[in-house]
Amino acid sequence: MESVKGISSEKEFAIRKGLYLAGLEGVVCDYYNNHAQDYEEYSTITGRTVGALELAKAVARTNPDKDATILDVCAGTGLAGEQLKKLGYTKVDALDFSQAMLDLAKSKNIYRNYICDSVQLHKNNQIDDGAYNILCMNGGMLPGHITPDMLPEFTRITKHGGSIVFNITEASLKCYPGFSEEVVENALNSFVADGSWTSWTKVTANYFGKTGEQCIIYTAIVS
Ligand SMILES: C[S@@+](CC[C@H](N)C(=O)[O-])C[C@H]1O[C@@H](n2cnc3c(N)ncnc32)[C@H](O)[C@@H]1O
């Protein structure tokens, strides 16, 4: 089996699963700060570029305007940003709480701005209301990362009529309590019911190019 610095992909997944379920922001942030290069290698070995490309294509379906302003939340080393750039988007900013992950993305000259900050339940003071046409997130909906109850902060940052596009892998939907399809979609329905969103849709797409594991991509339209 292929490995990241001697750790098999399965073991790597098990380690990260434990870490995520601990759910402590500082611990998760430290993990990414200490493993940015390993994470990049893990993404290459598992073919996560496929999932990032599918997410970028979903962004293009919801807003083909290449001048649209986009915030890539949990941007990491820039996997999704790279694909958005290839599709021609020019105003893509990165937000991530790990400076090491952002530094790696910066070395590849992917984004317009690099915002080192955390998305939480409370308001992020660095970003104005309605600042972006699109918020996207590849692989960030996870325990200890972004949870569905943080989506109101995504909504605040997105323009009226703008879109929020994010994915969740099949593995996450199955193995993390609180991230099942039913729980997530109940949360999404509540944002339509309270008038924050006009609608949401979902499509299934490839995520891990190596194994063919799928994800669901959700697209919401902000009221
Ligand atoms: C699984 S990685 C995904 C990275 C990138 N989107 C990709 O597809 O390769 C999750 C990223 O989210 C960042 N992150 C996790 N929770 C966060 C939060 N609450 N606020 C900001 N960044 C966060 C981590 O530092 C890490 O870079």
Cα–Cα distance between 195 and 94 in angstroms, integer? Answer: 28
The arithmetic mean of pLDDT across residues 126-140, rounded, is 96
- The per-residue pLDDT for 144 is 85
DSSP code per residue over 54-121:
HHHHHHHHH---TT-EEEEET-TTTHHHHHHHHTT--EEEEEES-HHHHHHHHHTT--S-EEE----S
Quickly tell me which residue has 């697209």 as its tokens.
219
Query: Which CATH number goes with the domain that contains 132?
Result: 3.40.50.150
**pLDDT higher at 44 or 158:** 158
Domain count, the chain: 1
| Predicted confidence (pLDDT) at residue 135 exceeds the cutoff of 70 | yes
Find, among 91, 96, 59, the residue nearest to 74 by Cα.
96
Full domain range(s) for residue 195: 3-222
DSSP code of residue 149: G
The arithmetic mean of pLDDT across residues 88-106, rounded, is 97
Question: Is the shortest distance between the CB of 52 and ligand 1 below 6 Å?
Answer: yes
Cα–Cα distance between 167 and 121 in angstroms, integer? Answer: 19
Half-sphere exposure of 59 (CA within 13 A, CB side): 34
Question: Is the shortest distance between the CB of 60 and ligand 1 below 6 Å?
Answer: no
Question: Is the shortest distance between the CB of 179 and ligand 1 below 6 Å?
Answer: no
Residue-wise pLDDT tens digits, 39-58: 999 899 999 999 999 999 99
Phi and psi, residue 91, nearest 5°: -120, 60
Q: Report pTM.
A: 0.92
| Predicted confidence (pLDDT) at residue 122 exceeds the cutoff of 90 | no
The arithmetic mean of pLDDT across residues 155-173, rounded, is 96
**Mean residue pLDDT across the chain:** 90
| Predicted confidence (pLDDT) at residue 194 exceeds the cutoff of 90 | yes
- The per-residue pLDDT for 178 is 86
| Predicted confidence (pLDDT) at residue 8 exceeds the cutoff of 90 | no
| Predicted confidence (pLDDT) at residue 110 exceeds the cutoff of 70 | yes
Centre of ligand 1 from the C-alpha of residue 74, in Å: 3
| Predicted confidence (pLDDT) at residue 103 exceeds the cutoff of 90 | yes
- The per-residue pLDDT for 3 is 44
Q: How far from 189 is each of 92, 185, 192, 203, 220, CA to CA, in Å?
A: 28, 6, 5, 16, 10
Centre of ligand 1 from the C-alpha of residue 79, in Å: 11
Atom of ligand 1 nearest to the CA of 32: 25
